[in-house]
Chains A and B, each alone.
Chain A
Amino acid sequence: MIPLLAIFLRGDLLAGLRSDDTRQALLLSLQTSLLSLAFMVVVGTPVAHMLATRRFRGRSLVLTAFELPLVLPPAVAGIGLLMAFGRRGLLGEELSFLGLELPFTKVAVVMAMTFVASPLYVRQAVSAFEAVDGTLLDASRTLGAGAGRTFWRVALPLARGGLGAAAALGWARAVGEFGATIIFAGSLKGVTETAPIQIYAGLSDNLDAGLATAAVLILVSAGVLLAAKLIVSGRAQRFTLL
């Protein structure tokens, strides 16, 4: 706890909060992380549902592959993204043929965030779907609802709490992304300098601004963790009421 407290006790937080660097970086982090979250939820939720409900050969292999970015150093993610999507990357030629150059853009920031954070979302979402009582799904199907209707009307509402907690954790991880971003997206104020990168850059010229950003991130993360806990315990209570 001491390092976290120290951030609030050293430097001039108010001056830091007024700095343009801080405002720009926080705004950029909010924007890119929400885009990343949207992508995670839209693509990750059906994938998680499939992984939770289907049993197929190689399922644990697929699950492991999904979990890999969770334990890898973000620098590995960064260099991998660069090797795949950089100008000279595996897909670089195809991308530049389409007029796309991804490194050093906001898209690169979102990609780095999504690569690192989506496994966390998918993993939690799989658990959320697995916790849904299978007999309810069977009942829905025997009563004539199709697979799609059962997903939308039964599985999704029942897993809502767990999915909310998954989204909160995934979003928080996306906001915290640093290593992959600085390698793949570089650092430019207002374009790719997200909050964690601004903290790093602030070490050289604007410590107060870096500290202020750090303080905001601590408060936001605490809020997200608390919200995730409340959502989960709220869901638990509803279950006991049943």
Chain B
Amino acid sequence: MTRRRLIAALAALAMVATGCGGSSSSSGGSSGAGGGTLTVFAASSLTAAFTTLQQTFEQQHPGWKVRFEFLGSDQLAAQIEQGDPADVFAAASTKYPEQLQGEKLLGPTKNFATNTLVLAVPPDNPAGITSVTKLGNAKLIVGDPAVPIGSYTVQVLGNLGIDPASLNIVSQEQKTTDIVSKLELGEADAGFIYTSDAKTAGDKLKSIALPAKAQATATYPIGIVTGSKNAEAAQQWIDLVLSDAGQQVLTGDGFGPAPSSS
């Protein structure tokens, strides 16, 4: 008897443990004037821009709080697939939103920004890098090819005719913010990051532009996650991102305008 009770208690505990991540987003109840918590899953390259927009949103919609999860787009997509209750998904690539739409987990999306890549080096440029074609034996940090920044990096290197195996890559990170922080600490000589990351890093990093013909363009789509309990607020967040004010913040952070066909 006690054993059965123990198993029941453990099962309940497990349910609590797995469900706790999302309890806050449903606590808002019905969306709209009442307020609540909007959960936005966003690619880590959006950290600075979305954090700025968070203040605007919370001022415009009193009672609403915006909670973020900034990770690699692929990890966010995997979390949504596993049932994490997100309201909005903003990715650094069209691949994962399309994948989620195929599984009926994400509504229609709009492209709201683009991004390009730069080669970033610590301010004192310890390896004296002047061009992406002369990387020599410099220690490089790149994104894991499975995450958008990594796959764009592979694309850029391909456009330049550089074999990644010929480079001295010391780490493959899961999100852009990890590449940025390790470069800022000066632990590696160079890394490929988004133009927007380089812009937000300010003088903590120096960027070396890539030849235009080698450039890869990242497209950022945004959409409402199927089954969101805060669909109205989610739409308001998307409207803010697409509005002039939102676009201004994004351009200010180094993002490019959304492709016109969106």
Give the A interface residue count (CB, 8 A): 23
In the complex, chain A residues 1-60 whose Cβ is within 8 Å of any chain B Cβ? 1-3
* Interface members, chain B 13-62 (any A CB < 8 Å): 14, 18
- Residue of B144, B185, B187 near A204 (CB, 8 A) is B144
* Alpha-carbon gap, A203 to B146, bound state (A): 10
Q: Does B155 contact A (CB under 8 A)?
A: no
Q: What is the CA–CA distance of A165 and B185 in the complex, to the nearest angstrom? A: 39
Residue from the list A1, A2, A186, A200 in contact with B141, Cβ < 8 A = A186
- Number of B interface residues in the complex (CB < 8 A): 26
User: Contacts A82-B185, A186-B182; is A201 near B174 (CB within 8 Å)?
Assistant: yes
- The smallest beta-carbon distance between B132 and chain A, in angstroms, is 20
Assess the B174–A104 pair: CB atoms within 8 A: no
Contact with A along B71-93 (1 / 0, CB 8 A): 01011001000000000000000
* Contact across chains for B146 and A3 when beta carbons are under 8 A apart: no
**Hey, which chain A residues are within 8 Å of B169, CB to CB?**
188
Q: A187-B172, A187-B174 are in contact. Are A88 and B144 (CB under 8 A)?
A: no
Task: Mark B1-23 against chain A: 1 for CB-CB distance below 8 A, else 0.
Answer: 00000000011001000100000
- Residue pair A104, B147 in contact (C-beta under 8 Å): no
Q: How far is the CB of B122 from chain A (nearest CB, A)?
A: 9
Total inter-chain residue pairs, C-beta < 8 Å:
67
Chain A stretch 140-196: residues in CB contact (< 8 A) with chain B: 186-189, 192-193
Measured between alpha carbons, how far is A186 from B142 in the docked complex, in Å? 11
Separation of A101 and B187 alpha carbons in the complex (Å)? 9
A200 nearest CB across to chain B (Å):
7
Q: Whole-angstrom distance between the alpha carbons of A2 and B14 in the complex?
A: 7
Name the interface residues of A51-79: CB closer than 8 Å to any CB of B. none
- Choice from B72, B144, B188 contacting A104 with Cβ under 8 Å: B188
Residue ID in chain B nearest A191 by CB atoms: B170
Whether B173 sits at the interface, judged by CB under 8 Å, is yes
